[in-house]
Structure formats: structure tokens, C-alpha cells
Chain A
Amino acid sequence: MRKDRRQDLTRGDAAIRRAFIYSVGVIALAGLAAAVIYWVQRAPEPSAPIQEADVQTPRLEETPAADDPPAVRFTDVTEAAGVDFVHVNGAYGERLMPEAIGSGAAFFDYDKDGDQDLFLSNSRYWEGHEQGAEQPRQVLYRNDGKGNFANVTEEAGLALTSYGMGVAVADYDGDGWRDLFLTSLNENRLFRNENGQFRDVTADAGVAGGEDTWSASAAFFDYDKDGDLDLFVVNYVKWSREIDLEIDFRLTGLGRAYGAPVNFVGTNSYLYRNEGDGRFTDVSASAGIPVSDPVSGHPVGKGLGVVPIDYDRDGWLDLIIVNDTVRNFLFRNKGDGSFEEVAIFEGIAYDRNGKATSAMGVDAAYFRDDRELGIAVGNFANEMASLFVTTDGRAPFVDEAVLEGLGPASRIPLTFGLLFLDYDLDGRLDLLLANGHLEHEIHKVQQSQHHAQPPSLFWNCGEACRGRFVPVTDAGDMAEPLVGRGIAYADVDGDSDLDVLITQNGRRPALLRNEQQTGHHWLRLKLEGLPPNTDAIGARLELTAGGVTRFREVMPTRGYLSQVELPVTFGLGTADKVDRLRIVWPDGSEQELVPEAMDTTLVIEQGAIRAQ
């Protein structure tokens, strides 16, 4: 039951002894401050008043959709496609928390051959518990363009053993090759892509983080609009095996269980500024990223998911961080190199009842094809997913999960990753949730729960249905139970629709080929920005077709621990032409064009266009 993880309800409801170490630091520093009270600094400057934009919501001329999801099936082609990866969480019986959390995946074109390759993050056996097995490694698969994958880990230089968690991909150095950042239970790693060969540049770049810092999702984005991509790393809880065993979390009915994060001290996330010369500087403190509990002084954050988006449309990318058992964060980019945490005021910190959820994954999109931004959050079992939606195009957000059909259907599953994607190319963004419990035998005490749970696919019905998101019950292999964690999508087989990969904890992933035959038109867009942000991460696109304007962003960091492909797919439904395409590049420059072709991939250079 959800209660097992919530504050106020467990025997182990406490922070941890060893986390006292942190307190000692705090205590010591506080003591020093007392000793030299004349350190007293000038009073903080008052925060700038919030500018509330007056946004006119455009009137939709969309034809109401039928209220039945289209017959689209997904086929599990994992093995046939050559993906033989198996996630190793190292579980040996002590139920150590990291075993249940990983891991992520990324679709990206590492070799610049035009198709989407696949990186899968792996964890490892715990020291002393290898049981004779070889330690697993991270895995990179090269796509042949038709959805067949070959393991190229060794030759690409990524044969690394690590207790890996998440992955972020971007061309951070502007050389046109996409680099890879791997988060882990210990030090994180940055791999520079040098013509298809990866080199570990972590030390030089200065992005390893703490040896004992558990990092989860990560995102490359340009927070200071200096043209290059900075790096945000979400950190989870302060964990060690000793802490975990000392807390000895137990679920009534099961005994020893995977520890609830409420028992662990939180952490602060990292913001690294790209210095443009291969080095990054940790600017977390000066940028206002640390969030501390006013009573204990401990960090509040227990983050798992992140998505950068300009929620207030001021031209600066903000950050949404979702936290497990504590309030979510919304870091509003103030445009001066710093952020202000405003989640409570803007309405995404808590659920409808004002309670913090066990949030895992997050995505944001204009799913109504109007000016209303939606932020979807995957939560724990017995917590419905959240769907925070703006009011008249601006904050505050209101959690509309129950109104839009997402709430009731997502109440029982334990959701990790979730993504907006247009799987049937009708133009509207649908929702996919990856589900799976932590506990193998949870069904023994919670009859509605199982370790493996089917993903939840919701079709966006538009205005025609009482709830916009309609559960899809017949999606082929998508209905098979999985111990789902991260989700990534890409058109892996070049047939234009979005295929999906769902990672499983302690199991193989599921590569689900989209078999849609709707006949819907589509347009895929690959943006080529000016160096150093060669993939134009952070660009906004507005495409008008059939009287509807749809909004998308170039942002591969979505969901949970994972990255989706960089090209943006617009489903066009039955529209027979595109009326207008407007691009706002990351530097703020705008480009407007009328694509003449449909059902194709357009490569758009900043200032030019060509068909692929």
C-alpha cells in the first residue's frame, strides 16, 4: 500500500545515523557562524515580483476525434532486433535500495549515420556477491537503420562497469558528435565522442560529483544562454549499505523490504556550467540549487526525474525536478545565472491534497495543442500520476489527472518513467507510463500489486471524450507485464512512427516496435543549430496543419533516467498539408517556413532547410 513509503507511517521513519555526518558539518559550520557572528551577511535581496503574462488562449478548430483509440499494436522485437542486454541490479537478498531503482536508456545517433542507436545503462553485482559471474557493463548498440542492433560497446570505448543509473546525451563541446553522460550510485562519468569513439573525460571536465553521491537523471541544457550546453544532475538520497541495513526497513506482511526514501536524508542536485573549453564548473550554490529544510538544515531533495522547459515563456529554460516522498521542485530561471525554487507557489510541489508524492519520472508538453502546459509525473503505487496543467496559459498549475482520465487508471500501478508521445501520428500527444513494483512478492499482501505490471498507454482523445486520456487496452505486446523503469522512444526502423524501449529492473528491456497502419501523415524534423549547440537542444517548434497549431521542444531529457531521440516527430493525422512551421532557436532567433513535403524527414539548419 502506498502508505508504506509515506512519512509518518513507518517504523523507520527517520533520517539515518550516518547522515548525522552531514549534520556535524552543519553543526560545525553553524558553530563557526556563531563564533564569528559578525559574518552576518547583508539581508537577501527581495525576490523579483512574478510577472504574470496575459496570454490569450487560441480557439481550436479541431474536429473532435472519435472516442475509441485506433487499432495500433506494438510488437516486442527485443531479441529479433539483436538487443540481448540484461540489466543486473546485483540483488542478493539484503534488499538494498539501489537494486530497485535502475536504470535508463538513450536513443541517439552516436555515429552520425542518420539512425538512432541505443545506449543501455547497467548496474552491477555488489562486491563480494558476484557468485562467479562476470561484472556486467554498459552497452551501446549500433542501429543499421532498419531496427537491427549490433553491440559495439567495446569498439566504442564504453565497456565500463559501474552501478549505473541514468544517461544524458548531447554534443556538449560543439564538435558535432553527441557525447554521453552516465550517472551512477557513485561517481558519474562523462564520455566525449571523438568520431564515434568515446573517451572518458570526467576528471578533466570536473563532473564526477561525489564518490558517495547517488545520481539519477541528468539533462544537458543551456541555462545561461551563452550558447553551450550546461549540465544538471539530479541527486537522490544519501545512501550507503550500512545506512540501509541499519534502518532495516520492513513492510508489514513482507518483512525486510526496499527502503522507503523517507528514511534517508536528502541531497542537493548539481548544476554544472559549461566553460566552453571542455571543463564544467559546479555553480549549484551560486545558482540557488540547494534547498534545505528550515528546521533540520538537511537537503530536502530526493530527486529522480528532471525535465527542462520554459514554463513561463520568458525565454529562459526552467527546471522541473520530481522528488521521491518530498515536494517537487520548480526552479524558475531568473535569467541572471540563478534560479528561484517556486514549486509550491506555482502549484506543482504537491498533489491535490497538498501531500508530497513518491514521484519518479516527469515529462512536460502542450498536450492540448493550445497554450496550456501540462506536466505529467509518474508516482508510486496507490498514488495516481499527476497532471499539472496551467490556468489560462500560466501558473498556477492545477492537478487535472482525475479530470483528464489519467488519475483513476494510474492509481494502482507503480509508475517510474512516463512520456508524452504521438504513437498514432494523429497529431495529439498521447501518454505512456512504465510500471513495475519494487517488491517481488508484493502481491502477497497487496492484492492489486504485482512486481511486473503492464505499461499504461493512454490515447489522447482530444476534446471528444470526458477524460482526454483514454486507456488503451489492446496494444499488443505493450500489454505484457514488465518491471518497467525508464522509457525512450525513437523511430528505430525508419518507418516514421515512434517505437518504444522500456527498461526493466533486473531483466532485459522491451523494445516495442510500433506497428501503426493508420495512414496518418507525419513530418519529422531534425534541427541543426549553430555550434556549440549543434542539435539545437532547447529549440521550440510550432507547426500549424489542419487548423491546429502544435507545440514541441527539442529536449531529449524526458521521463526517467533516459533520453529520447533528438528528431521531433509531428503526427499530422489526415491533414494534407502543413500551413506553417515556426522555429524559435535556442539563441532566440526565429525562423518561419512552409514545408512543401509531408511524410518525410526535414533537416533544418539554422537559416536553411533540406530534405533527408
Chain B
Amino acid sequence: MTRYVSLRAALVLWLATGSVQVQADALSEPPERWQGTLVPVAEVDISGAERLMQQAIAEARAEIAGLLESPNADPASLAGAYGRLGALFLLVDVEAQGDACFRTAGELEPKEFRWPYYAGHLAMVAGNTEQALTYLESARELDPEYPTLYLRLGKVQLDRGELAEARAALEKIADTPGLIAAANYYLGQIANLERRFEDAVARLKKALEADPNATGVHYPLAQAYRALGKNELAREHLGRFEAKSPEAEDPLLEQLQEASRRSLPAFHKGIHAIRQGKYATAAERFAEGLAVDPDNVPARVSYARALYLSGRAEEAGEELARALAANPNELLANFLQGVLLQQQAKPDRAADYYRRSLSVDPGYAGALFYLANLDFNAGRYREAAAGYAKALAADREIAPARLLELIARLRAGEPEADIAKRLTDLSAQYPEDPMLRYAMSRLLAAAADSSLRAPEQALQIASQLTLLQPIPPHQRALALAQAATGRFEEAAQTQRQAIAMAAWMAPPGERAVMQAELDAYERGELPEPAWPEGAPLLSPPPFDPVAPFRDYPAAVPY
């Protein structure tokens, strides 16, 4: 294995030595003395790769260019340089250039196993199974003892539908330490394909025993159980399924990964963990990535989110502050810092951060909505109304803002008739919006302007809402509508049911309001106003800092 170590050492050394002066690219058009031997490697736009990889690719090209211009360059050193560049292309999935590099390296060092092996792996990843098979067979001729070669061969043959050949290759390594899980995983898949479900179960269980973290194995295993009619076992394994394939020991590929200073794999894992709700793991992964790439501000914000969601709010605040120190205009960092401060009961400071977000992007709907909620709760209804309007202009799908804007306008003194008309228009536009229907029912029942009242219509809406969802707010609306139609006894009875249902949960203030309403019904009076303050469905949603930290998507999370 010593020959493989040399590549790793060279890569590490070369990546660690820092910059190499970028020269005119000779790889696209090799110098005359190398033409016919070297495959041209065209320059490509690598802006999609992470910063460190861009730098490494540029340096690797420059190194080769330097060698090509040197009269003393020997084929072995040139092969190594091309191989290193090919490895980088392999890691960023640039197939054509990677293949050109490995082919060139193979031409220069025809006895070297790793070049056709890497080329075969690259072709396999690119889906070019025919080419992959050719390369891997070439590699086998050079070193038939490299065990992972048979895993690659088996996988390629499986993908080609050559099941017998695939099985033969995989069975060679089915008991090889480090490869047991992967080999049996594919052998299990073959058994599934051949409808040998009992065999599949045996193979896949063996794969799981060898690598219990290979949660991807649960999927074909569940399929096998399902086909065998063992549905409960199938469901159990589906419940444990996550798309994580078995690990396979492959020293050659591991050298490439380890020799490259990359942050992206850690960030990818971090995002994956976040998607699964594993926030502590996500925080660890982001920390790893940031250790390599500390200037990645979006990643630092993601790190802060993971910290917060794993219960480390203080550290989350520190990371957000670091992100903002590096880039004061980082939108998400400003917004989340505002959320943190609002959680700490510092609404004024929170509002400052929301406004900072808006100074960078005036259409930043999150900040608009949260700021409007702060204004609403502070009784600044005119400002709140303007804020909700802007939030809706940014995206009309912020459903709560539709009604909250109207409530804020009403409380800011706008005529009730105007509000009623806008509510009618909105209700027609969004007939499924329950908040609008709830508000409409209450307004039609108890509008201050009696000409706006339509008690029977209010009763119809409230009845539908209650039928759909018999929750206390809807029951309260029903009671109000019943009272509006003069059925005070029914109203009182409905209200009592609402109070009984809400008794164990509703805050004292709300219980008092509900009791006051009941008292009014019992006196044969209609409670006012139609849209009382503090009603849960007529107020901004309760502040929940976890939700934005968890659900607020980031355009660029690292």
C-alpha cells in the first residue's frame, strides 16, 4: 500500500504549500513536445465549487503548466500532477476534465493501478457504466488484489443488468472486513431483483450487522419483507430508513478526500442533519466546516441556527454576532438576531435588527411581518397596518397578515364600512382562509355600524366553521351570531360549552373575557366590539422563536 501513501503525502504537501503562480494555461493546448501524449484539459468555469477547491484547482493547473514548460519534467512527476488535478475534478464532479487528467496520467504511467481505478470510479459516478467497466477491468489487470475494486465492479455490473457477473464480483468480498456491509447490500438488491426475497433478507440483515449506521439498507430490506407479506416488519424497517448507504473501505479514495481541505462535505452533512431534526449533530458538522473555512458567513449563520435549536441560545447569539461582524448586511443574521432579542423581551432592540434587514432588502417579508407584529402588540396600529401591507406586497401568502392589516386599520380609526368591504373582497379571494371567515362572522354579527350587520349570514358562517372545527374560538363566534339573531339562550349555552372546553387551557384574561360575554348573553345583550382585543384569532400569532430558527429557509446556507 506504500505507493498509495505517496500520492496522499504529495497532495497534502502540495495543498499545504500555498499558492503557485498561475501561468498561461498550457493544459488546454499542450506544448509541441507533449502533443500526442497528453489529452487536452480545457479550462472551465469553476465558480460553482467551494472557494478552497477553486483555489486548489487553479494551483494544480498552474503546477502542471509549470511542469510542461520545464525541459526536465519526467513522465512520473507529470503523471502525478495530472492525477492530482484529476482527483480534484473528481471531487467536484467535473467528469470530462477529470477523465482527461486520469487518461493522461495513465498514458504517462501505464503500470500505475490508481489511474484507471480513479478513472473507473469517476466514470461510474458519471453514469458511464461502459467506460467504467473498461477502466476497472484495466485496473484489475494491474492489481487484482485490491479488494474494493470488486465492489466497484459489482456495482457497475449490477447497474448494467449483468446480475450473474455482479454477483460473482460481490461474493468475492462478501466476507472481507470493511466491505461486508456494502457487498451484502448490493447482493441483497440483486436478490430482490430476482425475487429471491428470503435471500435478500439474509443478505441485507448481514449488511446491517456489519454497519448498523447504514440506514439505507432498511429500504430494500423493507421491500423484501413487504414482498414476503411481513408487513409489520416492512413498516418497522421503513421507519428506520434514511438514505445512508453502507460505508466501504477504499484507501485510495480516502486519500483523495483526506488530502483535500474541504469544508463542503461537513456543511452538507450539517444541512442533512438539520433536515432530520438532529440539531446537535448539525452544529458539530458546521463547526467542523467552519474550522476549515472560517470566513463562510452563511455557514456561520447556519451554525448559529443549529446551536439555537440544540438548546445553546447564548452561543447562537455569539455566532450571529460574529457573522454580522464579518458582514453587517447578512440578512438572515440580522433577522435571527432580532428574533433572539425579541425572545429576550427586548422588543426595541429586536425592532432595530428587523429594520437593519429591511435597510438591506426592503422587501424582506420576515422582518416586515415580525416588525408589524411588534407594532400591533404595542398598539401602534397605523404602523402595524402599513407593515402588514408591505409584508403582503412582498408575498401575499402570509395569510395572517391579511386579517391583521384590517384589524390594525380599524383600530387606527379607519371607517368600519371600508374595513368590511375589504374583508368581503379578501374573503372572496381566499374563501378557504378560516381567519377571514371567523372575522367576517363576528363582524356581521356585531359590527359597531349596525347597517353592516347580517346576523343570519354570520350564523351560517359560524355554524360552518364550528362544524368543520368545533374549537372554542369558533364556538364563541357561533354564540355571538346566535345572540345577534336574538337567540340568547342558545348563545349562552354555546358559550358555556366553549368555556368548559377552554377552561383548562385559556389564559385567565381570556377566560374573563369569555365569562363577560356569557354574562352579556344571560342579560340578553350583545357583547362588543366585534373584534375584541386579545382574541387569539384576531391577534398576531404568539411569538415562537424556535419556528424561524428551524423553518426559515436560507438561500445560501454555506
Contact = CB atoms under 8 A, between A and B. Distances in A.
B332 interface: yes
A407 B129 CA distance: 11
Interface in A462-495: 467
Contact of B216 (A298, A353, A382): A353
B163 to A, nearest CB: 7
B1 interface: no
Interface stretch (A112-120, A394-402, A570-578): A394-402
A49 to B, nearest CB: 9
Interface in A114-135: none
A255 B48 contact: yes
B223 A396 contact: yes
B331 A17 contact: yes
Interface stretch (A61-69, A182-190, A441-449, A557-565): A441-449
Given A28-B398, A34-B542, A448-B127, A15 B553 contact: yes
A611 B45 CA distance: 63
A57 to B, nearest CB: 12
Interface in A17-35: 17-32, 34-35
A447 B555 contact: no
A23 B551 contact: yes
Interface stretch (B8-16, B188-196, B411-419): B188-196
Given A31-B547, A391-B195, A38 B505 contact: yes
A344 B241 CA distance: 10
B399 A28 contact: yes
Contacts of A407: 159-161
Contacts of A80: none
Among B159, B506, B553, residue most surrounded by chain A Cβ atoms (within 10 Å) = B553
Contacts of A21: 365-366, 394-395, 397-398
B146 interface: no
Given A30-B544, A345-B226, A255 B276 contact: no
Contacts of B539: 35
A398 B506 CA distance: 52
A381 interface: yes
A400 B331 CA distance: 48
Given A37-B505, A398-B193, A252 B49 contact: yes
A14 B274 CA distance: 11
Nearest to B192: A398
Interface string A429-445: 00000000000000111
Contacts of A255: 45, 47-48
A403 B163 contact: yes
Contacts of A55: none
Contact of B125 (A1, A17, A391, A400): A1
Given A23-B547, A38-B502, A445 B44 contact: yes
Contacts, number: 271
Interface residues of B, number: 93
A246 interface: yes
Among A41, A50, A350, residue most surrounded by chain B Cβ atoms (within 10 Å) = A350
Interface stretch (B73-81, B105-113, B231-239, B376-384): B231-239
B547 A30 contact: yes
A3 B129 contact: no
B238 A345 contact: yes
B376 to A, nearest CB: 12
A444 B42 contact: yes
B50 interface: yes
Contacts of B49: 252
Contact of B127 (A41, A354, A382): A382
Contacts of B551: 20, 23, 26-27, 296-298
Interface string A552-595: 00000000000000000000000000000000000000000000
A31 B234 contact: no
Nearest to A400: B193
A204 interface: no
A12 B365 CA distance: 21
Given A252-B94, A345-B238, A20 B276 contact: no
A250 B540 CA distance: 39
Nearest to A30: B547
B242 to A, nearest CB: 9
A234 interface: no
Nearest to A17: B555
Contacts of A297: 551
Contact of B555 (A12, A35, A285): A12
B140 interface: no
A31 B159 contact: no
B241 A354 contact: yes
A1 B555 contact: no
A295 B48 contact: no
B97 interface: yes
A11 to B, nearest CB: 7
Contact of A19 (B42, B432, B553): B553
Contacts of A400: 193
A384 B128 CA distance: 11
B31 interface: no
A2 B216 CA distance: 19
B95 interface: yes
A199 interface: no
Contacts of B268: 8-9, 13
Interface in A322-353: 344-345, 347, 350, 352-353
Given A25-B398, A254-B45, A396-B223, A39 B161 contact: no
B99 interface: yes
B202 interface: no
Contacts of B542: 31-32, 34-35
Contacts of A384: 127, 159
Contacts of B536: 32, 35-36
Nearest to B194: A403
Contacts of A16: 553, 555
Contact of B158 (A20, A22, A402, A448): A402
A412 B45 contact: no
Contacts of A17: 331-332, 553-555
Contacts of B317: none
Contacts of B276: 295
Nearest to B195: A391
B473 A446 contact: no
Nearest to B49: A252
Contact of A22 (B128, B397, B548): B397
Given A14-B556, A28-B399, A38 B501 contact: yes
A251 interface: yes
A109 interface: no
B271 interface: yes
Given A403-B161, A408-B160, A398 B195 contact: yes
A310 interface: no
A444 B96 contact: yes
Interface of B: 42, 44-50, 92-97, 99, 125-129, 131, 158-161, 163, 189, 192-193, 195, 216, 218-220, 223, 226-227, 229, 231, 234-235, 238, 241, 243, 245, 264, 268-269, 271-272, 275-277, 331-332, 365-366, 369, 394-395, 397-400, 432, 469, 471-473, 501-502, 504-506, 536-537, 539-544, 547-548, 550-558
Nearest 6 interchain pairs by C-beta: A31-B541, A15-B553, A354-B219, A250-B48, A382-B127, A21-B395
Given A21-B397, A384-B127, A411-B127, 18 more contacts: A9-B93, A13-B271, A20-B552, A248-B556, A251-B48, A253-B44, A254-B48, A255-B47, A255-B48, A257-B48, A285-B432, A293-B275, A296-B550, A402-B193, A407-B159, A411-B129, A445-B97, A448-B95
Interface of A: 1-4, 7-32, 34-39, 41, 50, 52, 243, 246-255, 257, 265, 282, 285, 293, 295-298, 344-345, 347, 350, 352-356, 381-384, 391, 395-396, 398-400, 402-403, 405, 407-408, 411-412, 443-448, 467
11 contacts: A1-B127, A11-B48, A13-B557, A24-B366, A25-B400, A27-B544, A31-B543, A36-B502, A298-B551, A352-B193, A353-B189
